[in-house]
Amino acid sequence: MTNPIERPTIPAWLYKLFTGHQYPYVRRLAKFAQTVKPGEDRPEPTKEMIEAKFWEVYPRCRAKVLQEVKEGMIVVFHDLREYPPGGFQELVNNPEEFLAQTFGKKKIKVNFYDDDNFVCTINFKVAGWTEHEHS
């Protein structure tokens, strides 16, 4: 486990995204890390267990930034950039500002992965984005 002194500052929105009920990856890892006797149900993890698992998973995560684009009747996502573990602190500190300065006016999806495992996603309407441009 990472030393608390070495931990980066994590905004509340990001911690909730990783540990909330909408995306159960971290909660599930915490739940299944508990040992139980055969035949027993696995109890829900405590807040402390979830936090410990978050600090195990988060430093390993990479972030992928995608742009949502409407093509005909469907919406597709184009890869814009991928950030390695520990390489996206500015993105999580000020996502709207960072995305606007880096990518401009777009509808953006940011996915987080633990190796090849999907952890969670969040969408942003950046720099005053209101709707897909019509072609």
Residues 83-124 have pLDDT tens digits of 999 999 999 999 999 999 999 888 999 999 999 999 999 999
Residues 91, 99 contacting (CB under 8 angstroms): yes
CA–CA separation, 59 and 8 (whole Å): 9
**∠ Cα 58 8 120 (to 5°):** 30
Q: In this predicted structure, what is the pLDDT of residue 9?
A: 82
Which residue stretches of 60-133 are H helix? 89-93, 95-103
- Is residue 22 pLDDT above 60, yes or no? yes
C-alpha–C-alpha distance, residues 124 and 39, integer Å: 44
Share the mean pLDDT of the chain: 89
Q: What pLDDT shows up at residue 103? A: 92
